[in-house]
Structure 1
Amino acid sequence: MSEDAGNKKIAIPASPVSCNLKAAQEDENVFGQLFCLANATAGSLEALWEEVGCSSEERREHLKGLVVEFERLCTEKVREEESVRDQFRSSIAQLRQEMVELTACLGEKR
């Protein structure tokens, strides 16, 4: 099975067992890596919950918590990257201003 990630098709493993996380990490397909990690984690959790006898409701609640935590992590990462972007923009604006000033100084000396 595959999903469309933009214009790229990515392979979606049928089960956690078929997901080789180490191979996916070596692959440059980040969407595939994320899916593989989520799929492997869900498979491991399902096996553990089956072993200890978690109810369907308990499983749903645990998975909801996992999704909330993943969303928090993703939001934090986006904020970090926005901060880096803002720093780059600020540096670029400052360097452009310096270039304008230096160009003006050079023009005055002629």
Structure 2
Amino acid sequence: MTKHHPELSLLFHALADPTRRSILTRLAGQPARVTDLSEPTGLRLPTVMRHLSVLEAAGLIATVKDGRVRTCAIVPDALEPARTWLDEQRSIWEARLDRLEALAMQAMKERTE
């Protein structure tokens, strides 16, 4: 039975949208104001705010409000749970493929005998 990781669900949900991935790419360079993040998307500000709230709920970004200006910054270690899970999955599948290869090699060896 698989383990349930609620933080992974939030991370993958946040990363599933191309607009949110684009925002994260932009924030990887430096923090930015919400208005600056909304300009290249062509989306209205409320829509961008909803995208930002999903990213913030997943822990991928942090926002700071100074007066009327809200600035967003990426949280560098936020992807670590996803990276760890993917590494675990890779190990599982590599082990399965190794066993499958060994089985195929054994079958070929028995066939030639």
TM-score by length of structure 2 reads: 0.42
Q: Quick one: higher RCO (CA 8 Å, sep 6+), 1 or 2?
A: 2
Q: Considering fraction of residues, name the structure with more helix.
A: 1
